[in-house]
Chains A and B, each alone.
Chain A
Amino acid sequence: QTVVTQEPFLSVSPGGTVTLTCGLSSGAVSASSYPSWYQQTPGQPPRTLIYSTNTRSSGVPDRFFGSVLGNKAALTITGAQTDDECDYYCILHLGSGLWVFGGGTRLTVL
């Protein structure tokens, strides 16, 4: 069974830059995995940040940037703000209509 991997915890200083990654337990992530990124704060629904590797969802500031770095998908946040402190999830398409979420990254801004 393929597992989608994310860093469980990351931290960034206010105003700083942080990169979250999304990998596969076997194989490399590519554009054909349609990597997407979601932000979730407690008690709120997910917010779509990025889909199809690097397309920002409506209203998402350009501080959030999606890419593929090496064999992983990546979400880079620049100019980190305290409001960015929450959980981030990636999801990958593994073919045959199957989507799998990563375990999530809890980002701390301090």
Chain B
Amino acid sequence: QVQLQESGPGLVMPSETLSLTCTVSGGSVRSDTHYWTWIRRPPGKGLEWIGDIHYTGIINYNPSLKSRATISVDTSKNHFSLELSSVTAADTAVYYCGSQTHLGFHDWGRGTLLTVSS
């Protein structure tokens, strides 16, 4: 099992870009078998898959967010990141990062609450 820890600003102004980072420990993002994923849970709603990345540069996005989301990986820092542009109140959620193989999702961070508000 790897450990994952999200970090982010907590509060973002509407129309700005949110940036979150997930630091991986107990394993390397340079894993051939693992993808690294982001999901979120808005208040009162269910889980939503945002997208995932492999260290070789393969990236997949939820089509509903693809135009605004950018996922990247930094192998030197052993972390991966999510940027979401033009945020609105609908992007307020707890954001989780996780580890994934082709079989499914495995380990999760504890989550970070991101609020979009002026």
Contacts and interface: CB of A to CB of B under 8 A. Distances in A.
Interface of A: 34, 36, 38, 40, 45-48, 51-52, 55, 57-58, 87, 89, 91, 96-104
Contact of B47 (A46, A48, A55, A57): A46
Contact of A48 (B49, B62, B105): B105
Contact of A51 (B52, B62, B63, B103): B103
**Residues of B in contact with A, size category:** 20 to 34
14 contacts: A34-B104, A40-B41, A40-B47, A45-B110, A48-B108, A51-B103, A51-B105, A52-B103, A52-B104, A57-B106, A89-B47, A91-B47, A99-B49, A104-B47
Contacts, number: 62
A94 to B, nearest CB: 10
A103 B46 contact: yes
Contacts of A34: 102-104
Nearest to B107: A48
B105 A91 contact: yes
Contacts of A99: 49, 52, 60
List the 6 shortest-distance A-B pairs measured between CB atoms, nearest first. Answer: A51-B104, A97-B60, A36-B104, A52-B103, A104-B46, A45-B108
A43 to B, nearest CB: 9
Given A45-B96, A52-B104, A97-B60, A89 B109 contact: no
